[in-house]
Structure 1
């Protein structure tokens, strides 16, 4: 089945918008890739990149025309969800589920947990290294006074 829209054929008349959004998502993923130090986040961005590239390839090179192509959906699971989808869709949904789990658990792109980062920030403030604000006593003194 050819799908001109998003999930469940939503916005089927706006195929060109999905093409532009997919290209933007790919750009953001490539930009963020340099910051990833966690295997889990690497999996999130890898699944998302693979899924978006798969759907973007269909949108660029399939009928009816360049940039307006329809995504080919070929997996049907009527017992679970009355929908037809493809492997790229599964990768995108899986990446978003993992994204939510990692975000809720507080795992940063660098692999550290939020609780550890907050603890490190308070420890460095006690050591006189400026804490979370990054300012020490000398740089704070050099800031202009607010009127």
Structure 2
């Protein structure tokens, strides 16, 4: 692998992460500024609504009331993703790692700086879909979609250069 390909992947990873963290925080601030907590605001009929909630747990109410533990886990995931990014040589893996990192850091920022207090902040969720699904945010989409793609790629046997072994 060339040094320039590794450097390009590293830059892509960082740029994607920074841009998506900014987009995540921007959309959360828009939700806070324009929505009343708990009120459902239909956007596309019953398929998509905006509904502002402040979440002190993880997805599906896991870890309810354990915000500081979730913040520590998010910090650990951030460090692990940053370590992993140093091994990436493919643009597609860099894009995925940057997107995943943006999701983790986006929600970590909320846990660190939002009310009620430092380290115990609540994550801003505002996207509601039907089927009794939890309210979520862009950071959640980044995390779940990239974790899913990572599992698929690992099961396909792709390495961090984006290459799967050839079948004989």
TM-score, scaled relative to structure 1: 0.73
Deviation by residue 1:52-71 (Cα, 9 ceiling, x = unmatched)? 11000100001111011000
- Aligned counterpart, 2:4: none
Structure 2 unaligned spans of 5+: 1-52
Partners of 1:30 and 1:11 lie apart in 2 by: 24
Q: Judge conservation of contact 2:103–2:140 (CA < 8 Å) in 1.
A: yes
The within-5 A match list for 1:101-140 is 101-115=152-166
Q: Does 1:70 align with 2:122?
A: yes
Which of residues 121, 135, 146 is equivalent to 1:95? 146
Q: How far apart are the structure 2 equivalents of 1:31 and 1:81?
A: 37
Unaligned runs of 5+ residues in structure 1 are 120-147
Task: Work out which of the two has the higher radius of gyration on C-alpha atoms and give 1 or 2.
Answer: 1
Pick 1 or 2: higher relative contact order, CA cutoff 8 A, min separation 6: 2
Instruction: State the shift of 1:43 in Å.
Output: 2.1
Deviations 1:37-78 (A, max 9, x none): 122211221111000110001000011110110001000001
Post-superposition offset of 1:19 = 0.4
Regions of 4+ moved over 4 Å: none
Distance verdict in 2 for CA 1:43–1:81, change over 3 Å = farther
Aligned counterparts of 2:65 and 2:165: Cα–Cα separation in 1: 42
User: Given that residues 43 and 95 in structure 1 are in contact (C-alpha distance below 8 angstroms), is that contact kept between their aligned partners in structure 2?
Assistant: no
- The corresponding residue for 2:95 is 43
Q: Which whole-Å CA distance do the structure 2 matches of 1:89 and 1:52 have between them?
A: 8
Instruction: Give, in whole Å, the separation in 1 of the partners of 2:141 and 2:124.
Output: 13
